Amino acid sequence: MATTLCISIFCILFITSSAAHDEKNVTNNPADQLVAIVNRNRTAHKVSSLGNNPGLGCIALQYIKAYQGNCDDVGKSKKPADSEFADTFAPKCGVELATLAPITGRVIGCQSDYVNPERAFTEILTLKNRSLNIINNSTYTEVGAGVSGSDGGGPYFWCLLFSNAKVNSSFLLEGGTAKATNPGCFSGAHDDCNGAYGSSQHLNILSIFAAVFAVICYTIWV
C-alpha cells in the first residue's frame, strides 16, 4: 500500500514539474508577457495595439538600471535625465543614435518581491489612473518593456517606455541584435529570458520536494 501511494504521488510530482517546465518554455520572457498584457488592455479600450520594439525594450531595461536598485526613488517620482537616452542607454544597447526618437510616455514600478507580469500590471504599474491613461494613449505606436531585479534579487523593477515614432525605423539595433544586457529581460528580442525569477523558483521548489519525497519513500521501502 505504501509503495503504491509513493509511486502515485511521485508520478503526480513529475507531471506537475513537466507542466511547469513546458509553461516556462512557452511564456519565458516576462517583458514580452507584459507587452502582450498592455496590448490586450489597449484593445479592450478600443485603442490600437503597439509594436514591440526590441531597441526600445533594451533601453527600458537600461532605464531600470539607472535607478541602481533604489526602489524609493521610483516612489519619489525621480527619473533619469533625458540626456541619458543618447549618452548612456542607447550606446549600451547598441541602438543607432540616428534612429532615436522621443520617449512620449513612461511607466515604472518597483517592489521588493517578484510577481508575475499580470500582477505587476494590475498591482504595481496601473494603481494610478494616470498610469492607465499613459498606457492607453492613442498616439503611441511602439512600446518597449524591461524587467529586472537588482543583482539577481529584489527589489524588482518593471518599466514600460512608449514612443509615437514611425514603426520599423526607430530605435534600430546595430546589426539587428542588442548588446548583452544581463541581468534582466527586455521585450521584442524573441529570445528566452530566464530572468523571470518566478518560474525557476517554482521549478526548484518542486525539484527539492520531489527529492525529499523520494528519500522518504526509500526509507519506507527499506
Residues 165-177, mean pLDDT to the nearest whole number? 94
CATH fold of the domain at 29-191:
Pathogenesis-related Protein p14a (3.40.33)
Sorting pLDDT into bands at 50, 70 and 90, what band is 151?
low
Which among 15-29, 100-114, 146-160 has the top mean pLDDT?
100-114
Work out the burial of residue 175: count CB atoms within 10 Å of its CB; fewer than 13 is exposed, 13-18 middle, 19 or more buried: exposed
For residues 10 and 145, what is the distance between their CA atoms, to the nearest angstrom? 39
Contact 189, 178 (CB under 8 A): yes
Q: Which residues pair with 110 in a beta bridge?
A: 157
Q: What is the DSSP string of 50-66?
A: -EE-HHHHHHHHHHHHT
Evaluate if residue 66 carries a pLDDT over 70.
Answer: yes
Evaluate if residue 180 carries a pLDDT over 50.
Answer: yes
Evaluate if residue 34 carries a pLDDT over 70.
Answer: yes
SS3 of residue 186 by DSSP: strand
Contact 66, 219 (CB under 8 A): no
